[in-house]
């Protein structure tokens, strides 16, 4: 996995970010979801690296990136803090402007990055998400049952941590082991069985229900929108399309939005890597030409 990529750990102002980078050409940052690490891109990154300089990074709190101390307001695990890490890491690699592709929690970091650092982001691709505030504002029975873990993980410390730590596999692999490559799964298990990672991931969701929600609502009230082109992709076998007009929701947040569903579940880059690449490649090509 990632045989042609270079491994680095970059110290930013708030965290040490673990990443791999490879290829040459315009820079593309790939950000993973929960409870994964940068390894989730192992079927996508090598192909993209034929055309682009690809950076696959662990979010703070995940993988081998550092786990900053928590605070009562959960700010250290806000998507604003995570986005700041990644902008600084890319700058340390020599990239002032870049495209970003984010899945799940990485997608939430990515769209916050596009809002907070519009001069840095060439294009934004989000995989299987809508903005955090939109989920909470539109919560109904279907979403609450389907994404019950959002409400569980956001509960006060230490209840979620203790329950998860009693059997992490039962919690994290509830959608099925068969979705993941064995080597990738071993890497995920190495990380998500670590109590400090479990706590950090709970803090991520606590931040989602508090500071991230507030920041999104502030942007909505102020009329701030994402300036760069936005691509939304989602799994047709997951719940997103049943609950929302995905592209329509994103058009409330950005002026240039395109996207479609892919015949898979939540983990697009691992379940349907060829279809994911077929969507990402022309979008990135257009973005870097504009």
| 120 φ/ψ sector (left φ>0, alpha ψ -120 to 50, else beta) | alpha
Residue 4 CB-density burial (10 A; 0-12 exposed, 13-18 middle, 19+ buried): exposed
Cβ distance 23 to 54 under 8 Å? yes
Q: Please, what's the b/e burial string for 149-158 (b: 16 or more CB within 10 A of its CB; e: otherwise)?
A: ebeebbeeee
- Which alpha helices (H) appear in 208-267, and where do they start and end? 213-222, 240-243, 246-251
Q: In what order do the strands lie in the sheet with 16-23?
A: 6-11, 16-23, 53-57, 27-31, 98-103, 121-127, 230-235, 257-262
What stretches of the chain adopt beta strand conformation (E)? Answer: 6-11, 16-23, 27-31, 53-57, 98-103, 121-127, 230-235, 257-262
Which of 21, 34, 42, 266 is catalytic? The answer is 266
Task: Identify whether 104 is a catalytic site residue.
Answer: yes
Name residues whose C-beta falls within 8 Å of residue 253's C-beta, 6 or more positions apart in sequence: 111, 131, 225, 226, 230
CA 71, 74, 76 angle in degrees (round to 5)?
Answer: 80
Torsion, CA 122, CA 241, CA 239, CA 280, rounded to 10:
-30
Q: Which two tokens stand for residue 211?
A: 């500071």
Q: Please state, in angstroms and as integers, the Cα–Cα distance from residue 1 to each residue in 36, 226, 276, 289, following that order.
A: 15, 34, 19, 30
Which of 58, 104, 204, 212 is catalytic? The answer is 104
Task: Identify whether 21 is a catalytic site residue.
Answer: no
Residues annotated as part of the active site? 104, 266
């Amino acid at each position: 996995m990632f045989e042609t990529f270079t491994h680095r750990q970059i110290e930013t102002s708030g965290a040490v970010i673990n990443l791999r980078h490879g290829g040459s050409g315009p820079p593309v940052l790939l950000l993973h979801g929960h409870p994964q690490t940068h390894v989730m891109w192992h079927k996508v990154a090598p192909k993209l690296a034929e055309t682009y300089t690809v950076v696959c990074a662990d979010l703070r709190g995940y993988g081998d990136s550092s786990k900053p101390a928590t605070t009562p307001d959960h700010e250290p695990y806000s998507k604003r803090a995570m986005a700041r890490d990644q902008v600084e890491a890319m700058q340390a690699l020599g990239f002032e402007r870049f495209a970003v592709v984010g899945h799940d929690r990485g997608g939430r970091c990515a769209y916050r990055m596009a809002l907070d650092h519009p001069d840095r982001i060439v294009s934004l691709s989000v995989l299987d998400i809508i903005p955090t505030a939109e989920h909470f504002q539109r919560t109904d029975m279907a979403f609450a049952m389907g994404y019950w873990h959002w409400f569980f993980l956001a509960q006060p410390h230490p209840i979620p941590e203790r329950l998860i730590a009693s059997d992490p596999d039962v919690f994290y692999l509830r959608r099925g082991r068969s979705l993941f490559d064995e080597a990738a799964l071993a890497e995920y298990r190495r990380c998500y069985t670590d109590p400090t990672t479990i706590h950090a991931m709970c803090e991520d969701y606590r931040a989602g229900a508090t500071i991230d929600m507030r920041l999104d609502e502030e942007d909505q009230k102020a009329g701030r929108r994402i300036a760069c082109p936005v691509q939304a992709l989602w799994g047709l076998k997951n719940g997103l399309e049943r609950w929302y007009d995905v592209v329509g929701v994103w058009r409330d947040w950005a002026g240039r939005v395109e996207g479609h569903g892919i015949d898979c579940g939540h983990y697009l880059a691992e379940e349907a890597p060829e279809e994911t690449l077929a969507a990402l490649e022309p979008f990135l090509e257009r973005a870097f030409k504009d």
